[in-house]
């Protein structure tokens, strides 16, 4: 039986009290660790059944965020490897993997900032879209290193998260310019590098990110402007190895315009779009720089996947 | 001396009481006609000086709208052709050209609708950007002809004129979908044709239009979606024949975001961008369909320009 | 009332006893000339009505061949220019224009051969598709001039007119290789120039020709192989100036496969496809070499069209 | 000495009594298994020599089919790994690998159908070329899952294997349209996905398949239509790791046209062409989805190849 | 009989005592004017024969410079138009056309500088290749207007005329950077505009200029850097209207390397290459800005050519 | 304390007495081996400190040649793997790795010649740039195998190393043509394959090589000409895995032109440029053929790097 505390964790994710790819993932790891620490299971089999129940509970909270199933999978793999071992060993394995995930995901953003900053040169003008911790870490780290750089930020309709990025960069002292999403191609020749985050990265190196990203990537490609993606490695999507499509969430129309004022009009509000690997120069992760063509090998290694296996 | 009524016309343009490319142009033609009808000039020379004064007054009202100088130039050419003639002939020439301009510019949108509708096929999904009378005329005319078509309209930040288009199309019965500007590439494979207006068309066929247009054109080009521009012929920019750059107006930052809430942040708000001729399939005018490669010849003919001549 | 002889000419076109773009066009010119020579009309108005009747009769025979309406239009223009003149002048104008058309269209292929051969260099390997008199004239003329050249010819399914071209070139002594349509990209790096005919050329320089042409043009473009179109100037399509679409004829399924052996299967058999002007290097006509970007001006001049005019 | 039964297997492959990439490969595995089961060799060395003899015999039957050497290599690797072991262990290793190959290759098509169907969406129009079991499995599986899809099939000259595909899809209930090879670009904007098979896949992800494939891929790429390759993993070509070129077989001219009717004309009939990896979106195998950029790693793993090694 | 003075003019061109496209052209015009002024011809026919003789003499001096035949053609047209007139009228026509050509060609460079400078913005970094008066005029005029601009100049092997440009720009005060020809793509993202001259411009807008130009244009195109050509209108090549190829001169190997030090090695030294119109944004002439797609119309107008006419 | 002999080795590298990527790398390996053979260290720790000192000494000699740090890293890894072992084992490990490196790097060029020659077909015209042992090995090996091939070589300004290549190929009997760097695009359609060396290969497959390489790659790509890179595997740059930029060395201006003759002129002389992976078809190494998309995996394997690790 699932504990009250774990239920609360799941509920907080579902109700978006806990939000942001990183926080969600760490909360899930914490829930599994809690179970391992406090389980009343008597046998390994019983314990594994409990883990399965909790996994199902967690996975049902938010269907499209890949960081959540990735955290669960990472922790559960610890137990699976010890299959056949006694209960204590299993519990320790789960706790240790959960701790590892939590620790690593916290360090990842900082590390991405360091690695990515190596690709930002003095004098660069960098454009970012929406509000990505990783992308901003790269810009801010480069700036802190004393590089004289500037930032362009898109508004990022409909939720206008670009305004959050503008504030964050401005507060860090980076000279920042705000533009509407439509103005990217107009300014692209003034930009040296584009750097965005990712919600999911497919096995072929395609990047699923905030809607508009693929348009920016296309404009950058047209003008030979470098296009970087900054993302923790748990943003890679293992299901794409066996052909699963990444579902593109559509959010409520009202975020775009008040539907009542436009009766009979359909309002479509996709949150993400897909940037093909051809337009991505590098993916900056905490594990190093990954060209999109290496996404397949990286996912295979990260998720200890063997060809032919169906990922659960 | 310029009459009170003509001064009022100029003031209305300057204060934007009279606005919209077509209305501004027709008002300017009317002002010149008024002068021709009521002038107290005694000699042709005197009359021509008056026309020059009025032209200067009108041209000073709005520096970037090409429809205005084009209207003035069109009317004045009527007088220039009669150079050497007596006063009556000159006055009649000006009145006749002004009437011609006003009449033609009114019919132009309707005619563009007819011609453009020939390129819209049954079942087409058509995307438009911002709010162009000509582009909407094409869509609505095709729809009235019984073609089952659908429209996608972008929001068109920052002024969101796309909402006006949505209402206009919806009211005409066209099934219409509203999307944010960033979502164009996401939906582009569902689109059969893009149709937009133009604020200015250069001698090389480049199209200056609402910011974001060039990004849509690029996405359409990438996916082999046809890209049409619908514009009255007085949108062609004769100055580009002799190398004049079309100035891209930047409007107040507050249209994008409240500058006070973003101290230290630069907000740039270009109104237009430039779509290169390579991404334009056809320009639909009231004179017929013009491929961008014919823009040079069309401008030369329209403005009765001889190579080498500096356009005033 | 239309004469028996003219009816016979129309019938021969309709039943395809008279066929081939050039022959059809000349037959139509002949019909109009015959009428002008033998009319019993008493007044100019009566004569013009007769011409209209005959035009309608002729135009109804084959709806999509542009050479036919172009011949009719060319001849009729002779009369139209003399509008207001007496009957004799009108009749002479029609006869003279008909003679001019017939004479010119006969010389055109030969002249195209001469002009086009200038663009074929010693040692060239030239690929052609389907069976175009003009394209073959270029190859054969260059060969007769002593240039050591080779030809590749596609089979051109479904009617396999490529086999006719193979025989014609082989008989002329040109070393010739036959390949299936699918093999073009495989061999394209061995090809120096592609030369094809045209059924219709639009105002934007797009070329409507035998299905498969656009695929060859794409493969040539990808490999920087020059792509030439050889066509008489009456293949230019004036209706495209005012937005008319060139209809792509679909022929009976049985040309592709026996429908009875494939019950429930749809067989589609478009005869032509559209090659965009970006993939066309030059259009070789009897009037000289025309880049696709000049098609608009050429059509305007050829058909004495004034912008705004609706072409009948 | 090679047994009569094994000789028969080799003869059947050579005479094409046994044909199709999968059947040939399985027959070869069976031959090696038979030898392992019934050998009269007294020592491991003797047994290995026998295997070498049989391999040579089998490899000589059809020089260009990569599935055959891949099957042989797969089975022989089982013995090689046990090098140093006793005769019984060696024999068991060969038998076990042969069984594994036969079993896996049978399941592969079905599994490819399942994985590939995940990438086919409701409403998709899918185009296929020639006659590939794997490509058809994807279409048919998606259709059986209740997705409303349609298929376009090219005739695939000269052997017209497209007609076999048309029948197979039509029999499965899939609404199917037949077109000639030349018509692909004409219809490509109506297509959502292209899916073809492969005869061989190189280390750089280039796909060798039925002639015409690369032209379709190019047209798909031009129009942003997804291009999928469906193939069992034994279609990967290990020799390309060390620079071996995949030989493009040319078949008899008579398949294209009767050479006697075209004396002096060369008829070239390449069976395959090479599609560059840039035009391939995904390779669907029984082991999962492989982006072309991962082909190198996949071949290395599949054939247990170490860099520097010359593959026999 | 040709006069001694005219022979001397021809000899000076042949021996390169008179050199540079503009000087050669003006010398030829002067020769014809001299003949018109001093002829002893008694009849129009005799005078025209003399002009033909002189033309032949002049055209034989340098076979590939298009400015020379263009000057001759321009002047001769003056006489041709008066065909049927008396001797005095003919002579006056030739003299007047020759004067017009000389005067206009002198003013052209200056005018090109003015028009072109309108396309150079404050802060621009402009790259030029080889040594073109027109291209340098644009840069220097913009600089004199007070625009803060910088220049990059390529060495332009083998003759290294880039060094002349470097000196000229440096002397004019323009901050100038010299690079080798190979370094263009490395620096292209720092460049805002490329501006080069032209030796010949074809009817399709293709530009024949110093070898290396097409490579720079390609690199500029890849990076969305504007590519301008600055050239007097007599650089347009009328022969291309009827399919004549512009011959690419190959100069002596010794300009590249001492052939004696490389026995058995072939050294090829083409002076020019062909830049396709797709990579040219604008052609700046003294008559205004011409997009490459308008080259056909411009040549037609400049040379008063009627379609179908063979240019002598 | 570092021995005199080792100091001499370092000095020879620094003073360029020892030069060429291969020779430098082998000298460094030799220095480490010498230390291992003759060390007076008493403990493993002491020995490891000595190795660190020598590494620092060697790495300081030439900052940008990746072959040098790669050789050091390769040898040191031998010791690191044995960490915890006794002194003798450590010394033996270092000696054995040094020998392995020296032996392998010597064989590499020969092996690259063999592998690469498989991709050169009879009749090929191959272009090379600058002077790469590996690229020339491929051409010469193919020629020795009896393939009738020809070579084009660029001059390769400013140092003109192309002249060395011309001599080397000519001496080997290969028909060779010398051209200036600017002429590549002019001749590219006559070229079947381009083959160049590399100074460094990044994790994303980008190739750093002699300036001008990227321009040639671009022209080859535009014309569908295959572009091969031939390089020993120690040219792969492990630092790029963690985002380190490959520094592009700029050499003294005087190599381009005498700065004294151009006072006030900046002369920039970058030695290398970066060719993006999209323009590279294959990388030919002694370990086999590597598509640029596999560079990441190859570097990871070659340098036994684990994701997340910072490379020293």
In a domain, F308, yes or no: no
Of the candidates A269, A291, A254, A170, the residue with the CA atom closest to the CA atom of residue A210: A269
Of the candidates F142, F251, F273, the residue with the CA atom closest to the CA atom of residue F198: F273
Which of F289, F299, F304 has the highest number of chain D CBs within 10 A, making it the mutation to test binding with D? F289
Query: What is the pLDDT averaged over residues C175-183?
Result: 98
Q: Is the pLDDT of residue E149 over 90?
A: yes
Closest Cα in chain F to E270: F183
**CA A127 to centroid of chain Cα atoms:** 19
Q: Is the pLDDT of residue F1 over 70?
A: no
Would you list the DSSP string of B160-187?
TTHHHHHHHHHHTT--EEEE-GGGHHHH
**Is F179 found in the same domain as F221?**
yes
F103: helix, coil or strand?
Answer: helix
Is some CB atom of chain B closer than 8 A to the CB atom of D222? Answer: yes
pLDDT for C1: 55
Of the candidates C38, C71, C119, the residue with the CA atom closest to the CA atom of residue C290: C119
d(C-alpha B302, C-alpha B66), whole Å: 14
Q: Per-residue confidence at F65, pLDDT binned at 50, 70, 90?
A: low
Q: What is the pLDDT of residues E200-235, one digit of tens each?
A: 999 999 999 999 999 999 999 999 999 999 999 999
The CATH number of the domain holding residue D55 is 1.20.120.420
Q: Which of C104, C124, C133, C199 is catalytic?
A: C199
pLDDT for E202: 94
pTM: 0.93
User: What are the chain F neighbours of D299 within 8 Å (beta carbons)?
Assistant: none
Q: Are F127 and F153 in contact (CB under 8 A)?
A: yes
Query: What is the pLDDT averaged over residues C64-90?
Result: 84
Q: Give the gap in angstroms from C-alpha C234 to the nearest C-alpha of chain E.
A: 14
Q: Are strands B282-285 and B272-275 parallel, antiparallel or unpaired?
A: unpaired
Are chains F and B in touch, 3+ Cβ pairs below 8 Å? Answer: no
pLDDT for F135: 97
Q: Per-residue confidence at E70, pLDDT binned at 50, 70, 90?
A: very high
Q: What percent of chain C has pLDDT over 70?
A: 98
Which of D191, D220, D223 has the highest number of chain B CBs within 10 A, making it the mutation to test binding with B? D223
Q: What percent of chain B has pLDDT over 90?
A: 76
**Is B280 found in the same domain as B133?**
yes
How many angstroms separate the Cα of F186 from the Cα of each of F126, F183, F254? 15, 5, 29
Q: Which of A205, A243, A244 minimises the CB distance to D284?
A: A243
Domain hosting residue A129, numbered range: 111-302
**Is B90 found in the same domain as B229?**
no
Q: What is the pLDDT of residues D200-254, one digit of tens each?
A: 999 999 999 999 999 999 999 999 999 999 999 999 998 888 888 888 889 899 9
Q: What is the pLDDT of residues F223-240, one digit of tens each?
A: 999 999 999 999 999 888
In a domain, B278, yes or no: yes
Q: Per-residue confidence at C82, pLDDT binned at 50, 70, 90?
A: confident
Among E90, E110, E130, where does a domain finish? E110
Q: Is the pLDDT of residue A65 over 90?
A: no
User: What are the chain E neighbours of F267 within 8 Å (beta carbons)?
Assistant: 177-179
Is some CB atom of chain D closer than 8 A to the CB atom of F304? Answer: no
Q: What is the pLDDT of residues A126-176, one digit of tens each?
A: 999 999 999 999 999 999 999 999 999 999 999 999 999 999 999 999 999
pLDDT for B109: 94
Of the candidates E208, E194, E186, E200, the residue with the CA atom closest to the CA atom of residue E139: E194
Q: Is the pLDDT of residue A79 over 80?
A: no
**Is F154 found in the same domain as F267?**
yes
B residues 11-40 closer than 8 Å to D (CB): none
Q: Is the pLDDT of residue E85 over 90?
A: no
Query: What is the pLDDT averaged over residues D90-111?
Result: 93
pLDDT for F90: 92
pLDDT for C153: 98
Q: Which of E203, E297, E307 minimises the CB distance to C287?
A: E307
Query: What is the pLDDT averaged over residues D48-75?
Result: 87
Q: Per-residue confidence at B64, pLDDT binned at 50, 70, 90?
A: low
Is some CB atom of chain E closer than 8 A to the CB atom of A278? Answer: no
**DSSP structure class, residue E282:** E
Mean of pLDDT over chain F: 92
Q: What is the pLDDT of residues F152-199, one digit of tens each?
A: 999 999 999 999 999 999 999 999 999 999 999 999 999 999 999 998
- Listed in order, strand segments (DSSP E) in F112-268 are 125-128, 150-154, 176-179, 193-196, 200-201, 207-210, 226-230, 266-267
Is some CB atom of chain F closer than 8 A to the CB atom of C190? Answer: no
Closest Cα in chain C to D251: C179
Among D85, D110, D135, where does a domain finish? D110
In a domain, E14, yes or no: yes
Query: What is the pLDDT averaged over residues A41-45?
Result: 91
Mean of pLDDT over chain E: 92
Q: Which of A176, A185, A210 minimises the CB distance to B265?
A: A176
Q: For chain D, list the contacting chains (3+ Cβ pairs, <8 Å).
A: A, B, C, F
d(C-alpha B7, C-alpha B3), whole Å: 6
**Is E188 found in the same domain as E128?**
yes
Is some CB atom of chain C closer than 8 A to the CB atom of F222? Answer: yes
ipTM: 0.90
CB pair distance less than 8 Å for B297 and E301: no
Query: What is the pLDDT averaged over residues C65-70?
Result: 85
Q: Which of C241, C293, C308 minimises the CB distance to B293?
A: C293
Are chains E and F in touch, 3+ Cβ pairs below 8 Å? Answer: yes
* Run of H or E residues at C53: helix C44-59
- Inter-chain CB pairs, C–E, below 8 Å: 55
Q: Which of D188, D192, D224 minimises the CB distance to B222?
A: D224
How many angstroms separate the Cα of F143 from the Cα of each of B144, F159, F188? 71, 27, 21
d(C-alpha F170, C-alpha E263), whole Å: 9
For E150, phi then psi, to 5°, come to -130, 155
Is some CB atom of chain A closer than 8 A to the CB atom of E190? Answer: no
Among F51, F85, F110, where does a domain finish? F110
CB pair distance less than 8 Å for D294 and F289: no
Q: What is the spatial order of strands in the sheet that B125-128 belongs to?
A: A266-267, B176-179, B150-154, B125-128, B193-196, B226-230, B282-285, B288-290
Query: What is the pLDDT averaged over residues D117-140?
Result: 97
Q: Give the gap in angstroms from C-alpha B204 to the nearest C-alpha of chain A.
A: 18
Q: Give the gap in angstroms from C-alpha C295 to the nearest C-alpha of chain B.
A: 9
In a domain, E251, yes or no: yes
Query: What is the pLDDT averaged over residues D284-311?
Result: 87
Q: Per-residue confidence at A214, pLDDT binned at 50, 70, 90?
A: very high
d(C-alpha A187, C-alpha A189), whole Å: 6
Q: Active-site residue numbers of D?
A: 130, 199
pLDDT for B201: 94
User: What are the chain F neighbours of E212 within 8 Å (beta carbons)?
Assistant: 180-183
Within 8 A by CB and 6+ apart from F14, the residues are F60, F61, F62
How many angstroms separate the Cα of A91 from the Cα of each of A18, A34, A88, C217, F56? 26, 10, 5, 65, 46
User: What are the chain B neighbours of D188 within 8 Å (beta carbons)?
Assistant: 224
Q: Which of A111, A121, A288 minimises the CB distance to F241?
A: A288
**Is F163 found in the same domain as F60?**
no
d(C-alpha D50, C-alpha D56), whole Å: 10
**Is B208 found in the same domain as B70?**
no
Half-sphere exposure at residue E242, Cβ-oriented, CA atoms within 13 angstroms: 15
Q: What is the pLDDT of residues E159-169, one digit of tens each?
A: 999 999 999 99
**Is E218 found in the same domain as E187?**
yes
Q: Is the pLDDT of residue F66 over 60?
A: yes
In a domain, B307, yes or no: no
Q: Is the pLDDT of residue D1 over 70?
A: no
CB pair distance less than 8 Å for C183 and D212: yes
User: What are the chain E neighbours of C118 within 8 Å (beta carbons)?
Assistant: 242-245
**Is E102 found in the same domain as E121?**
no
Q: What is the pLDDT of residues C206-244, one digit of tens each?
A: 999 999 999 999 999 999 999 999 999 999 998 888 888
**Is A65 found in the same domain as A127?**
no
Are chains E and D in touch, 3+ Cβ pairs below 8 Å? Answer: no
Is some CB atom of chain C closer than 8 A to the CB atom of F190? Answer: no
Q: Is the pLDDT of residue F312 over 60?
A: no
The CATH number of the domain holding residue C126 is 3.40.50.10470
Which of A203, A238, A243, A305 has the highest number of chain D CBs within 10 A, making it the mutation to test binding with D? A243
Closest Cα in chain B to A181: B182
In a domain, B153, yes or no: yes
Closest Cα in chain D to A204: D291
Closest Cα in chain A to D293: A293
Q: What is the pLDDT of residues A7-38, one digit of tens each?
A: 999 999 888 788 777 888 999 999 999 999 99
d(C-alpha D268, C-alpha D259), whole Å: 11
User: What are the chain A neighbours of B264 within 8 Å (beta carbons)?
Assistant: 170, 176
Q: Which of D115, D118, D290 minimises the CB distance to A296?
A: D290
pLDDT for A274: 96
Higher per-residue confidence, D65 vs C117: C117
d(C-alpha A260, C-alpha A270), whole Å: 20
Would you list the DSSP string of E134-187?
HHHHHHHHHHHTT---EEEEE--TTTTTHHHHHHHHHHTT--EEEE-GGGHHHH
Is some CB atom of chain E closer than 8 A to the CB atom of B45? Answer: no
Give the burial class of E174: count Cβ atoms within 10 A of its Cβ; 0-12 exposed, 13-18 middle, 19 or more buried.
Answer: buried
Q: Which of E156, E218, E265 minimises the CB distance to F170?
A: E265
In a domain, F32, yes or no: yes
Per the structure, how many domains does chain E have?
2
**Is B144 found in the same domain as B106?**
no
Q: Give the gap in angstroms from C-alpha D121 to the nearest C-alpha of chain A.
A: 10
C16: helix, coil or strand?
Answer: coil
Is some CB atom of chain B closer than 8 A to the CB atom of E286? Answer: yes
F270: helix, coil or strand?
Answer: strand
pLDDT for E26: 92
A134 catalytic per annotation: no
Q: Is the pLDDT of residue F85 over 70?
A: yes
Is some CB atom of chain C closer than 8 A to the CB atom of F261? Answer: no
Query: What is the pLDDT averaged over residues A243-258?
Result: 89
In a domain, E309, yes or no: no
Q: Give the gap in angstroms from C-alpha C65 to the nearest C-alpha of chain B.
A: 19
Give the burial class of E64: count Cβ atoms within 10 A of its Cβ; 0-12 exposed, 13-18 middle, 19 or more buried.
Answer: middle
What Rg value do the Cα atoms of chain F yield, rounded? 21
Q: Per-residue confidence at D63, pLDDT binned at 50, 70, 90?
A: low
**Is E58 found in the same domain as E76?**
yes
Closest Cα in chain F to D307: F287
Would you list the DSSP string of A4-58?
HHHHHHHHHHHTTSS-SHHHHHHHHHHHHHHHHHH----SHHHHHHHHHHHHHHH
CB pair distance less than 8 Å for E308 and C288: yes
Q: Are B198 and B208 in contact (CB under 8 A)?
A: yes
């Amino acid at each position: 039986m699932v504990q009250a505390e774990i239920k609360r964790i799941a509920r907080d994710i579902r109700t978006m009290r806990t939000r942001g790819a990183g926080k969600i993932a760490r909360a899930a790891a914490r829930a599994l660790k809690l179970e391992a620490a406090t389980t009343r299971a008597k046998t390994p089999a019983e314990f594994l059944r409990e883990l399965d129940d909790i996994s199902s509970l967690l996975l049902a909270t938010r269907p499209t965020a890949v960081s959540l199933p990735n955290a669960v999978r990472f922790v559960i793999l610890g137990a699976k490897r010890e299959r056949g071992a006694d209960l204590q060993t299993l519990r320790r394995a789960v706790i240790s993997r959960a701790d590892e995930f939590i620790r690593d995901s916290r360090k990842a953003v900082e590390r991405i900032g360091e690695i990515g900053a190596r690709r930002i040169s003095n004098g660069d003008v960098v454009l970012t879209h929406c509000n990505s911790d990783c992308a901003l870490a790269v810009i801010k780290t480069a700036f802190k290193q004393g590089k004289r750089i500037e930032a362009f930020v898109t508004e990022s309709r409909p939720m206008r998260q670009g305004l959050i990025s503008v504030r964050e960069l401005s507060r860090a002292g980076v000279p920042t310019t705000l533009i509407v999403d439509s103005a990217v191609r107009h300014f692209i020749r003034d930009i040296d590098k584009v750097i965005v985050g990712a919600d999911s990265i497919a096995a072929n190196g395609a990047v699923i990110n905030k809607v508009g990203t693929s348009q920016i990537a296309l404009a950058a490609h047209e003008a030979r402007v470098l296009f970087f993606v900054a993302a923790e490695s748990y943003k890679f999507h293992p299901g794409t190895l066996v052909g699963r499509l990444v579902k593109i969430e559509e959010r409520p129309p009202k975020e775009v315009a008040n539907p009542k004022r436009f009766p009979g009009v359909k309002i479509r509000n996709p949150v993400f779009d897909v940037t093909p690997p051809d337009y991505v120069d590098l993916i900056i992760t905490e594990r190093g720089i990954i060209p999109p063509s290496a996404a397949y090998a990286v996912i295979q290694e990260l998720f200890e996947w063997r060809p032919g296996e169906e990922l659960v």
